[in-house]
Structure 1
Amino acid sequence: MREFASKRRVFAALLGGKVDRVLATCIGACGGSVSVEIQEAVGIYWPEAFKDPKKMANLAIGSQKITQLECVSIGDEFSILPEA
C-alpha cells in the first residue's frame, strides 16, 4: 500500500476506509504541537509569533512538517492575538 497524504488518511479513517498507518494528531490547546525544540528548528519563537500572523502560520506549518501529525495546530486561544 502506498503512503497516503495526510488529508486522504484523515478522510479514509473518518469514512471507515483503510489507511496506510494509524493517524496521529494533537488535540490539546496551549500551543497545539509547538514545542521549544520546534521553535528552535523553525527559527520562530513565542511570543514574537503571537504578534505576527505569518510567523504564527509558518511556526504551525513547520511543526506539522517536523512532527508529521495529521494537523496544523497553534492552539485556539492564540489565534486571537494576531487577528487583533
Structure 2
Amino acid sequence: MALAGAASIKSASADPYDYPWCAQGPSLGYPGECAYQTYDQCLASVSGRYLACGENPRFLFRAQLQPEPRRYRHKHRHHKTHPQ
C-alpha cells in the first residue's frame, strides 16, 4: 500500500498548482505540494499524515522572480548639416 502512495506522488515541478500554501514533508520534496489557497485547507489535508504546511516560496517571491519590463528610451538623433 505504501508503494502505491509513493508512486502517485508528483514532483514539485510537475505540480499544475502554484498556490500560497504547500503540504511539506520528506516524501514531497521542496517546496512540496502547493495546491492550497488557504492555510486551513492545507492543515485539513495534512491532518493525520507525516506532513506540515508551509508558505510557497515561488508564490511569495513571484514578483521578484519575474523580469522587469524593459523600458525603451527614445533617442532623438539630431542631424546637423555642416557647411563645407
Same fold (TM over 0.5): no
Could you say which structure has the higher strand fraction?
2
Name the TM-score class by shorter chain. under 0.3
Q: Which has the larger radius of gyration?
A: 2
TM-score scaled to structure 2, two decimals?
0.23
Which protein is richer in helix relative to its size? 1
- Which structure has the higher relative contact order (CA within 8 Å, separation 6+)? 1
